[in-house]
C-alpha cells in the first residue's frame, strides 16, 4: 500500500544536534519511507534569528504535523532562557517520556542483558518552573503533583507494559519524606495498578531504586517515575548500555509526539563530527513505531546492531575512531 509522504517537524537544535539529526535523517531516508521534513530552529541557535529560543512557529509546526524529531537544545545554567524542552513538553502536553534501555551487541559495558523501560512524567513536579525569592537568601521552588497527571502517566506505563509484553511496573518515589506529593503519586499508581491484572506492581524509594539498579538492572521491567526522579534515573540507566550516545527517547501526548535522545547538546564535542548519532537514530526508530512503520523500525534497529557487532565504524565514545557521518553511512548502507 502506498501512502503520501509523512511530514515531520525537524528541530536540529544546538551543539551536536544538527550533526546527529542529519545522521538520523540519512538513516530514516534509507528505509525507503517517504518523509517531508519541516525544519524549524529552536534553542540558542534560534535566538539570533527569532529573538526567542522557542519561536511560536515551532509549536505551530508540531501541532500541525503531530510528530517531530528533535536534536538537543541548550539551557543556560542558573540564568538565561527557560528550557525549550520543558516548554515544548508543557505547551504540547507531551505528558509521557518513554526511554527504553536495552543492551546492544558490541558495546563495552559492565552490564549484559539490560532490558528495561523508563516512563517519566513530563509536565509537572519540580519542573513546573515556579520558583521565587522569599526573602534574600531564601528561595522557594514548588513541586506540583496532581492526581490528573499522576493517573494518566500511571495508565500510560501500564498500557505500555500490556502492549509490549512487559510483566512488572515499579513506581519509584520518596513518599516517606514527601508524604503529600509523592504520597498522591503513589495513591494514583496503586489505583491504576488494580485495573491491570497480570502485570505485577511494586513500589521502591528512589535512593534504594538507584542502588538496586546499579546492583542488578535485570530485576526491573518498567520504571514509573515523576519528572525529576525520571530525569536522573534515565541518565543512570543510559550508563548500563554504553552511555548517553546510545539512549533513545520519546515524548508522547494525546495529540502528538516528539522523539529525541536522552543526551544534551554536548558542547565539548560539537561541530567536530565526533558525536555518536545512535541515540537519535534509535529515537527515529521509535518514531517509525509510533507511525505504525514497525517493519522499518525493526530494520533500523537491525542495521544499528549489525554495525555495532562488526565494530569497524564506531564513534570515539564507543572505543572507535569513526565520525558521526561515517557510522550513519554504515547504518544507512545496511538498509
Ligand atoms: P550532555 O548530554 O550534553 O553531555 C554529557 C557528556 O556526554 C559530555 O561529555 C558529552 O560529550 C557526552 N555526550 C553526550 N551526548 C553524546 C553523544 N551523542 N556522543 C558522544 N558523547 C556524548 O549533558 P550536559 O553537558 O549536562 O548538557 C549540555 C547542554 O545540553 C546543557 O545546556 C543542557 O541543558 C542541554 N541538555 C539538553 C537536553 C535536550 O535537549 N533533550 C537533554 C540534556 C541536556
Give the span between the Cα atoms of 145 and 193, in whole angstroms: 19
Asked if pLDDT for residue 320 goes beyond 90, the answer is yes
- Is 160 catalytic? The answer is no
What are the phi and psi torsion angles at 314 (to 5°)?
-105, 145
Asked if pLDDT for residue 332 goes beyond 70, the answer is yes
Q: Which residues line ligand 1 (CB under 6 A)?
A: 16, 20, 72-75, 85, 244-245, 260, 263-269, 275-276, 279, 317
CA atoms within 13 A on the CB side of 7: 9
pLDDT at position 109: 87
Closest CA to 254 of 93, 121, 99: 93
The residue contributing the CA closest to ligand 1 atom 27 is 264
- Is 127 catalytic? The answer is yes
Query: Does the reported pTM lie above 0.85?
Result: yes
More confident: 154 or 80: 154
| Beta strands per DSSP E along the chain | 6-11, 35-39, 67-70, 96-102, 115-121, 131-135, 138-141, 168-173, 200-205, 222-225, 250-253, 256-259
pLDDT at position 197: 95
CATH number of 1-94+250-335: 3.40.718.10
Give the mean model confidence (pLDDT) for residues 1-23.
91
The matching CATH number, chosen from 3.40.50.12170, 1.10.1040.10, 3.30.160.270, 3.40.718.10, for 109-241 is 3.40.718.10
The residue contributing the CA closest to ligand 1 atom 40 is 72
Q: Which atom of ligand 1 is nearest to the CA of 260?
A: 41
* Residue to mutate (ligand 1; options 21, 23, 264, 282; most atoms within 8 A of CB): 264
pLDDT at position 2: 52
Residue ranges, CATH 3.40.718.10, the chain: 1-94+250-335, 109-241
Asked if pLDDT for residue 13 goes beyond 70, the answer is yes
pLDDT category at 4 given cuts 50, 70, 90 is: confident
* Distance between Cα 199 and ligand 1 center (Å): 35
Q: Which atom of ligand 1 is nearest to the CA of 72?
A: 40
- Is 60 catalytic? The answer is no
* Distance between Cα 265 and ligand 1 center (Å): 5
Q: 111, 174, 182, 229: which is the annotated catalytic residue? A: 174
Task: With beta carbons less than 8 A apart as the criterion, state whether 201 and 193 touch.
Answer: yes
Give the span between the Cα atoms of 313 and 245, in whole angstroms: 14
Task: With beta carbons less than 8 A apart as the criterion, state whether 20 and 261 touch.
Answer: yes
- Is 115 catalytic? The answer is no
Give the span between the Cα atoms of 320 and 187, in whole angstroms: 47
pLDDT category at 16 given cuts 50, 70, 90 is: very high
CB-CB neighbours of 246 under 10 Å: 27
pLDDT at position 19: 98
Asked if pLDDT for residue 204 goes beyond 90, the answer is yes
Closest CA to 249 of 153, 118, 64, 128: 118
Residue entry with cell 491504576: 192
In sequence order, what are the residues at sequence separation of 6 or more whose Cβ sits closer than 8 angstroms to the Cβ of residue 245?
261, 263, 275, 276, 277, 278, 279, 315, 317, 318
Amino acid at each position: 500500500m502506498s501512502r503520501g509522504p509523512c511530514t515531520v517537524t525537524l528541530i536540529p537544535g544546538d551543539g551536536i544536534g544538527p550533526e546527529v539529526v542529519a545522521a538520523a535523517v540519512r538513516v530514516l531516508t534509507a528505509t525507503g519511507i517517504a518523509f517531508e521534513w519541516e525544519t524549524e530552529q529552536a534553542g540558542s541557535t534560534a535566538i539570533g534569528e527569532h529573538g526567542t529560543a522557542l519561536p511560536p512557529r515551532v509549536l505551530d509546526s508540531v501541532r500541525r504535523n503531530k510528530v517531530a524529531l528533535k536534536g538537543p537544545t541548550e539551557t543556560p545554567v542558573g540564568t538565561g532562557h527557560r528550557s525549550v524542552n520543558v516548554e515544548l513538553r508543557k505547551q504540547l502536553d507531551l505528558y509521557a517520556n518513554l526511554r527504553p534501555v536495552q543492551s546492544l551487541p558490541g558495546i563495552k559495558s559492565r552490564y549484559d542483558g539490560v532490558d528495561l523501560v523508563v516512563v517519566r512524567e513530563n509536565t509537572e513536579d519540580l519542573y513546573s518552573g515556579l520558583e521565587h525569592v522569599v526573602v534574600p537568601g531564601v528561595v522557594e521552588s514548588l513541586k506540583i503533583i496532581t492526581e490528573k497527571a499522576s493517573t494518566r502517566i500511571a495508565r500510560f506505563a501500564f498500557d505500555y507494559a500490556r502492549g509490549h509484553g512487559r510483566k512488572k511496573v515499579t513506581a519509584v518515589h520518596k513518599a516517606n519524606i514527601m508524604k503529600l506529593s509523592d504520597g498522591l503519586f503513589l495513591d494514583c499508581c496503586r489505583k491504576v495498578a488494580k485495573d491491570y491484572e497480570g502485570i505485577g506492581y511494586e513500589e521502591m524509594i528512589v535512593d534504594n531504586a538507584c542502588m538496586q539498579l546499579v546492583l542488578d538492572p535485570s530485576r526491573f521491567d518498567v520504571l514509573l517515575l515523576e519528572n525529576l526522579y525520571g530525569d536522573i534515573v534515565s541518565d543512570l540507566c543510559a550508563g548500563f548500555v554504553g552511555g548517553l550516545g546510545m539512549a533513545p527517547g520519546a515524548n508522547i501526548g494525546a495529540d502528538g509526539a516528539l522523539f529525541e535522545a536522552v543526551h544534551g547538546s554536548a558542547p565539548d564535542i560539537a561541530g567536530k563530527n565526533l558525536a555518536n548519532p545512535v541515540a537519535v537514530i534509535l529515537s527515529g526508530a521509535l518514531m517509525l513505531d509510533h507511525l505504525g512503520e514497525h517493519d522499518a523500525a525493526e530494520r533500523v534497529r537491525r542495521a544499528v546492531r549489525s554495525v555495532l557487532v562488526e565494530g569497524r565504524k564506531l564513534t570515539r565514545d564507543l572505543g572507535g575512531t569513526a565520525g558521526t557521518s561515517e557510522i550513519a553511512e554504515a547504518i544507512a548502507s545496511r538498509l
